C-alpha cells in the first residue's frame, strides 16, 4: 500500500498515513486531488478507480471515507477487507466508534493502524492479537501515569 487517507464528507482530513517518502507539498497536492475525485463519485459506483498510475480503493462508513492507494499488482478486494478490518478494530477498541472518537483520540487510531499495518503491508490479521497489544500498551501507560501521580504526592506534606 502506498498511503491511506481518512476524510469526512466535507473533505476534512482526519487521518493520513504515508508509506512512501514524499515531500509535504506533494502530500498536500495528492490529498487535495484525491479527496475531490472520491467525493465526486456517486453512491452506486464501483469502489475501485484508477488514478495517476495507482489503484484507489475506497469505502464510505457513515460520514467518513476510507481511501487506500495500492499498486497495480495488489489485490483490490483484499484491500477493501483491510479497510473493513481496520474499522472493526476501531469499533472494538472504542466501542461503537464514530468520527468524534477518531478526532479526539487520533493517536490511538494511529497506534492501532501501526499494529495492524506496517510499511504498507498487513502485519497481524488476528483481531485478538492486535487489540491485546494495544491493551498492553495502554496498561503500561496507566502504570507509568500512576507512578507519576504517586510520586507527586510524596513531596507534599499532608494538609491537616
- Residues within the interface to another protein (CB under 8 A): 19, 21, 44-50, 53, 73, 75-78, 80-82, 84-85, 107, 110, 114, 118-129, 133, 136-137, 140-141, 143-145
Cell numbers describing residue 41: 463519485
Backbone angles phi, psi at 119, to 5 degrees: 60, 20
CB of 18 to another protein, least distance (A): 9
Q: Under a CB-based contact definition with an 8 Å cutoff, are residues 124 and 116 in contact?
A: yes
CB of 88 to another protein, least distance (A): 9
Whole-angstrom Cα distance, residue 137 to residue 133? 6
Q: Under a CB-based contact definition with an 8 Å cutoff, are residues 6 and 69 in contact?
A: no
CB nearer to another protein: pick between 10 and 72: 72
CB of 139 to another protein, least distance (A): 9
- Buried-exposed string 80-105: b where 16+ CB fall within 10 A, e elsewhere: bebbebbbebbebbbeebebebbeeb
Residue showing cell 507539498:
25
CB nearer to another protein: pick between 76 and 99: 76
Cell numbers describing residue 58: 475506497
CB nearer to another protein: pick between 45 and 154: 45
Whole-angstrom Cα distance, residue 149 to residue 136? 20
CB nearer to another protein: pick between 10 and 73: 73
CB nearer to another protein: pick between 23 and 96: 23
CB of 90 to another protein, least distance (A): 15
CB of 157 to another protein, least distance (A): 26
Amino acid at each position: 500500500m502506498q498511503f491511506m487517507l481518512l476524510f469526512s464528507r466535507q473533505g476534512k482530513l482526519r487521518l493520513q498515513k504515508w508509506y512512501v517518502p514524499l515531500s509535504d507539498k506533494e502530500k498536500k497536492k495528492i490529498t487535495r486531488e484525491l479527496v475531490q475525485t472520491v467525493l465526486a463519485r456517486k453512491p452506486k459506483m464501483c469502489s475501485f478507480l484508477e488514478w495517476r498510475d495507482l489503484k484507489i480503493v475506497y469505502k464510505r462508513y457513515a460520514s467518513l471515507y476510507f481511501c487506500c492507494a495500492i499498486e497495480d499488482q495488489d489485490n483490490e478486494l483484499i484491500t477493501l477487507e483491510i479497510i473493513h478490518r481496520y474499522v472493526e478494530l476501531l469499533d472494538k477498541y472504542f466501542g461503537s466508534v464514530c468520527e468524534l472518537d477518531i478526532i479526539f483520540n487520533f493517536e490511538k487510531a494511529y497506534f492501532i493502524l501501526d499494529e495492524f499495518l506496517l510499511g504498507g503491508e498487513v502485519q497481524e490479521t488476528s483481531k485478538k492479537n492486535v487489540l491485546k497489544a494495544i491493551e498492553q500498551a495502554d496498561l503500561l501507560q496507566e502504570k507509568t501515569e500512576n507512578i507519576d501521580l504517586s510520586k507527586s504526592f510524596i513531596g507534599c506534606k499532608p494538609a491537616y
